[in-house]
Chain A
């Protein structure tokens, strides 16, 4: 048994798990506030990464400026999507809204291929590339810094949900829309803020994911694993996204390291089935949430 190998693989798994958790957070945010199952989450990630790529490589902006601009641009995009595609669908059946997000993902893929073609692209390097050693174990630096960013954002989000008044408004809206209106909460505004915040988080995750694995119009497949993460964690639980994200990341890395890459998806989806059999509402989800 090669303990060092196991350790390195586990650390790498936890690193990518952090990114799953971060993207899961973006998903949970939208689900919590608007009860929309957002299948376009992977494409929102991709769009954020491409925005940064466009501004850094095509327009030649400095990297940090491009990152900030991409995040802001994604937030704007989230607001537009919410206003034009999601809000008119409020009150329709969950399946219809779900289908709208499927359509959104195709539109976003098309948009990216129109502007940047379907070829692979590379994001400019912006993270420190010195190898990170944890004791004996080597961690890919990008994964390490990406994990730090993810962890920080998740902690902030948890604190916001718990202590900020806006977090209370979000949870109140999620719990009972009519009652939220009745205590003076501007419900449509909560919706659009949730989409804006989620799109910004997705953009950050997308930039990190893109800088590790490169850009392509099929990057949204990452969203598939994230879907597994949020379903396992419970659709409406930030903590669930965190735990399940790390868990699935670890599992994927272990399966990939010991069984071979083709077992990664097998392992995650088997876990999904097992969890759903034991806890249909996910590890930390609210019990009576909708199932699709």
Chain B
């Protein structure tokens, strides 16, 4: 064992890194940026949960006079500082839940008060959007907690101040969840699987095309290609076609596995899922070609993973809904192609929406624009890669 030789190897490694300033920068800068993103995601103040109430309760009469227990419950919800309540009718409530303007809704039926007084345990309808089981679950839990916290006031209202406990059951109502998309059997995997397919396609195709193109350049074959009659557009399109084939094969395997082996729930058209995936892949291939211009070796390609892939994984709505993110992160999310792919894939697979829906078309149009832009960038940088 020679200390001199060991130190010589260590010194060589340090010297190599010192020649590659970008790597040193990334070693420090990228983790700090990613930690900042995570900090913003985890530490952001949670705004009051926006909920809607539809009160159809006609009230009921007891010894204290005519009372509306739904109104009392609503007032109690309004006093809860974790919630932000808007009052709507039943149809508007469903519309706002569907559009994501409110996270959930509470509907008190016309006989709510009467049934409570008759000890019939009426159902309170909890309207949930349902596409994200985590969000639905937390909304349902928050609502259940808030309503149960209101029970003492309710009992006071029923029995009158003189006799607060009254002769009422401990659980005067039951909660009846109603999902606009999916149902209570939807779990996190149903929410995650559609976007995982898009993410894997984007990740692997981006990585493979960057490395392939880097090799094309470093092995000199790109120069040979450019010295042949092939045009830059033909090279970019050829790459795109070649890689898309593998991305589609990967997509088919993942989708069939998700549907038939791990039995995810899905409702929409698998064809549209493929269309979204192909467009996303085209963008990823050309992003890979474009960014490989700025790399000299495989190590530098790998550095694009924390720069390009990880932020998209964090911010594109895979784990945290984009709509619930702080404004700054939301703006970053909206410039990421994966965000639109995730919107589209979930809209199709979880909500069962089709190409006739403007929101799906819009997301697809953004992905097409991204792919076209990257194709142009990829083709334009080809000459620079040779020279």
Same complex: no
Residue numbers of A with Cβ under 8 A of B are none
